[in-house]
Amino acid sequence: MAHNEKLPTVILALDTGGEGTKFIYANANQVQAATSCYMEPQMVKLPHSAIAQLQGNKISVALPENMCWVGFGQEFYAVGYLASSRFQGSRALSKSKVETAIYKALGAIWVIKRKLDLGAKFTLDVAVVLPPCELSDKSYFGSPNYVMIFISC
């Protein structure tokens, strides 16, 4: 991408609830083509060895929402169907929505990156649904203006 080219912008509305991660997304240039997606609610923490194994097993025929795992800092999680089918993940209902939301949000972003065939860099405008009792936890997501996320395939 040339230095002065504008990055693609994606709009995302995200609900990372205990019943599943639901999101609507669109390329900002094509809002009329907005698409919805659902990921199962399960999530499970993975050891680094499991990540190495997942990277070795290229599951290219599966839908992105069914083969999602994320890393944030030094922690790795299988999210959605992969968590439930391969790692017996739980719904994590004992944790607050905010505690699990960052991993589910990263999973949704990776799914969108794959479905829209986005490059390594893009701009993301996000709206996250939080229950009223957890609104005070919104700072967990970081600065409302700029959050840098690195997502690899």
Q: What is the pLDDT of residues 101-129, one digit of tens each?
A: 888 999 999 999 999 999 888 999 988 87
Residue 132 has pLDDT above 80, yes or no: no
Give CB contacts under 8 A, 24+ apart, made by 56-59: none
DSSP state of 78: E
With CA atoms as reference, report the closest residue to 86 among 119, 122, 120, 59. 59
Q: What is the pLDDT of residues 15-43, one digit of tens each?
A: 988 889 999 999 999 989 999 999 999 88
Helix or strand or coil: residue 31? Answer: helix
Rounded Cα distance between 2 and 79, Å, is 34
Look up the pTM and report it.
Answer: 0.80
What pLDDT, on the 0 to 100 scale, is given for residue 13?
Answer: 93
